[in-house]
Structures are given as C-alpha cells and as structure tokens.
A and B are shown apart, each in its own frame.
Chain A
Amino acid sequence: MIVAEKKPIEEIIDTVKDCQSILVLGCNECVTVCEAGGKKEVGLLASALRMHFLQQGREVNIGERTLERQCDQEYLEEIRDIIDLYDMVVSIACGVGVQFTAEKYHAKPVVPGVNTLFMGANEARGVWSERCQGCGQCLLAVSGGICPVSRCAKRILNGPCGGSSAGKCEINKELPCGWQLIIDRLKALGRMDDYEKIIPIKDWSTERAGGPRKVVREDLKL
C-alpha cells in the first residue's frame, strides 16, 4: 500500500490560516490503513482546526468528508455539490489523491495534510517499511522475492557491496543489507545457483528516470 504520515498540525494551520471555510477530505484506502488520512483522522484534524480557530475568535466553517478513493473520478464526483461551499480543501489522501482532486476541481486550492512516503508493507502495529519503488521492470523472480531496487540503499543489481557488514547496511546499523536478505532467501530456497547469474544492466527508462509514466490498456478502454 501507499504509506503516508500526518503533517504536523502547526504546518497545516499555517497553510489554512487565512481561510473562512475548509473541507477536510479523507480517503478510505491506503491512508486509512496506515492511520494517516482515513475517516478517524478527518474527524481529528477537523476538530483540531475548529479548536484552533475558536481560540482565535474566528468563525471558520470546517467540513468533513471521506471518499472511497480520491484517485478515481467517480468518487471525486461525490463532492461536486459541496465543493463551492469551501475556500480550500485539505486532502489527507496520498499525493495521488491530492493531485487528482486538484485536477478535478481546477479552480479550488487543494493542499496536502499528509506527507506521502513510499509503497510498503505493515511489518507490525505502527511499523511500515518500503518494499517497492515501481521501477516498471520487476526482478523479484531472480532475486529470491526480495527487491534489490527498494531494499538495497545503492540499488545494486549484483551485490552486496563492500558496505555490507554483519548483515547490515553501512548507511544504518539497524537496516538489513538487502543483498544479505536476498542471499539468505536464495539459500533457503536452495537456489544459490541464481546468485551466480549476473543480472544484466537494467533499463531504467521504465522507472521515474524516464519521466512521468502512464499505462494505457487498450483491452480495458471504452
């Protein structure tokens, strides 16, 4: 899922300080699971903003809505009838949701209430870690199901490098070396022969380096 974390309340207050009417817009998907931008967080942020403006002696209208997804046109349509009631939208969806809302309602300022971080997994309660960088050319079949692009700090395709020590990465003693994880997994799978195979130079044009990406599925288009 896409992992995000809440922006500090002070930063959000500074962004919306001149508004008279604000819509706090949540999303029911990834940001709900990582407890950064779902319905509960919408309630919490809206309440915090109301209390802030009350203390300022200002009457600011704070609306609350949570959409099924902010990255789909059909769900964004659900706020068409109320969007004009507000000066600004604070979207606490991921960066995709913030941008898609802004695209849909071109004349309305839409600002983020979260920082979007990465595509990751929920390791334990309150712990998420990165697993995928969407490089567009998946290598997991040859790397024992562990991604050298997202798990190795240097994104080395034939590792480990000299900075791997006692199974940890040189950039952080707490961070497992991605290549150590790959080797351990290949051993467990009895597939160490795969480790001897040189992974060829990767075509990075399918990654972000090739510019903003787009998928057009002719089989799905209407």
Chain B
Amino acid sequence: MRPLEKGADGVYVVGCREGDCHYNSGNFRAKARVEQTRKVLDALGIGGRRLEMFNLSSSDGPSFARYAREMHDRILELGPNPIRTALAKKKKPPPAELQAAVA
C-alpha cells in the first residue's frame, strides 16, 4: 500500500516458489495479504491489478525478467496510478497572478 500511496504505478511482491519457503507458509500468507490488498485497491478505484504476487526461486533469473516485463506491460495498459496524478495536482504551483502578487 505504501508505494502505491506514494504514487507507484504498480507493485509486485516476489515470494519463494510454493512449497519451497524457508518460513514454510510465509509465501502463502503473503499471497493472502496481497489478495486482501487488491480488493481494497479495487474498492478505492486505484485498481487491484496494480498489485501482483509472483513466485520464483532466487536463481531463476529468466522468470524474474519475464514477470518484470509482464508487470511493465500491465502498467502500460492500466496507465498512471490516479494517486500519482492527485499528488502532482497537489504539488501544482500557485497560479501566475498569485505568484506575481506575492513577488
């Protein structure tokens, strides 16, 4: 949630392959958390598809690259995170006439 709140267009969580986690069920718990958060993101109108969980082993570079491309393509399809747009609006400089008055 925090990266998306800061304006990230997408976030993916990478866990060990299912059944291979050092913490036994840690990756399953993370998956459930990701699912929960996706529902909240849908309800907020940000879109749950901006968040994803992938499973791969630390030595599986090709899969990592494939998932990164998949997420990149998905983000391009979804467009910018509405929060990023809202944050940019918030930071928008005051109108020129106001700036002139202050000067």
Could you tell me which A residues sit within 8 Å of B by CB distance?
Answer: 8-10, 43-44, 47-48, 50-52, 54-55, 57, 59, 125-126
Contacts and interface: CB of A to CB of B under 8 A. Distances in A.
Contact of B44 (A55, A125, A126): A55
Contacts of B44: 9, 48, 51-52, 55
Nearest to B84: A54
A125 B24 CA distance: 13
Secondary structure at the A interface, as helix, strand, loop or mixed, is: helix
A104 to B, nearest CB: 29
B66 interface: no
A7 B44 CA distance: 14
A125 B25 CA distance: 10
Given A51-B83, A54-B83, A57-B86, A43 B1 contact: yes
Given A54-B83, A126-B32, 11 more contacts: A8-B43, A9-B40, A47-B2, A47-B5, A48-B40, A50-B5, A51-B46, A51-B83, A55-B44, A55-B45, A57-B86
A36 to B, nearest CB: 11
Secondary structure at the B interface, as helix, strand, loop or mixed, is: helix
Contacts, number: 43
Nearest to A6: B36
Interface in B1-56: 1-2, 4-5, 25, 29, 32, 37, 40, 43-46
Contacts of B68: none
Interface of B: 1-2, 4-5, 25, 29, 32, 37, 40, 43-46, 82-83, 86-87, 89-90
B5 A51 contact: yes
A10 B43 CA distance: 7
B4 A9 contact: no
B33 to A, nearest CB: 8
B90 to A, nearest CB: 7
Contacts of A51: 1, 4-5, 44, 46, 83
